[in-house]
Structure 1
């Protein structure tokens, strides 16, 4: 299991990542600074520097508050601050376990994502 920190506007969130091809690809990119913007008043999204592997991933996912996901059709990171219905092409990467309330900001904000612990 890998634990990451997401820092936005001086506030931190802690998340754990699943053990999947997509999340392993994501971890290889870290540390990373991205521009998070709002999408559909439900999630914060950011473009990733490269596509992640979806090998072994389900065809879609039904996210809830705090879920960190990868939207394969667009190649972007999507972090949910509201529950959402099933979406094809959405792949779970992990979940925010502390600080998800810090996603409720207006406009765009830079987020820095870094590994803080990794167990194999």
Structure 2
């Protein structure tokens, strides 16, 4: 019985590890360039995010709002499944409504509802975006 239990634990441990590895390898990514600086964006696995990736390549002029985000209207509507994230983080890329793309460059609590699109992998320099009213952003497939 002890041998059977030990074997079962090993099988579960390896199965769990294999599943995690598979998910990491299948993560969809995009490239975002702001003022010549490249960023990697991990794309969420949902219909809105997949539709966003299908629009790429895409150039947007994003406008300042509230001292913590930039937004732009997309050329087409996307499917939406809004959630209330509670805390938004610098680097969150979200859909507001069905056609407004929002890039957050500061972290804060919010009661608004958004559909998650992706997250900037290393958002460290994003807060500097607050220094200007408008930014040019290029998105492409990676």
Q: Hey, which bits of structure 1, 4+ residues long, moved more than 4 A?
A: none
User: Would you say the 8 A contact 1:44–1:78 is kept in 2?
Assistant: yes
| Aligned position for 2:93 | 68
Bigger Rg, structure 1 or 2: 2
**Aligned position for 1:4:** 30
2:59 paired with 1:42: no
Task: Report the alpha carbon displacement of residue 87 of structure 1 after superposing the two structures with TM.
Answer: 3.5
Q: What's the RMSD between the two structures over aligned residues?
A: 1.7
- Secondary structure, aligned partner of 1:28: helix
- Shift of residue 84, structure 1, vs aligned partner: 2.7
How far residue 13 of structure 1 moved from its aligned partner, in angstroms, is 1.0
TM-score, normalisation: structure 1: 0.84
User: Does structure 2 conserve the Cα–Cα contact (< 8 Å) formed by 1:65 and 1:80?
Assistant: yes
Asked which structure has the greater RCO (Cα within 8 Å, sep 6+), the reply is: 1
Deviates more, 1:34-43 or 1:82-91: 82-91
Any gaps of 5 or more consecutive residues in structure 2?
1-26
Question: 1:77 maps to what in 2?
Answer: 101
Aligned equivalent of 1:89: 113
SS at match of 2:108: coil
Structure 1 residue runs without a partner (length 5+): none
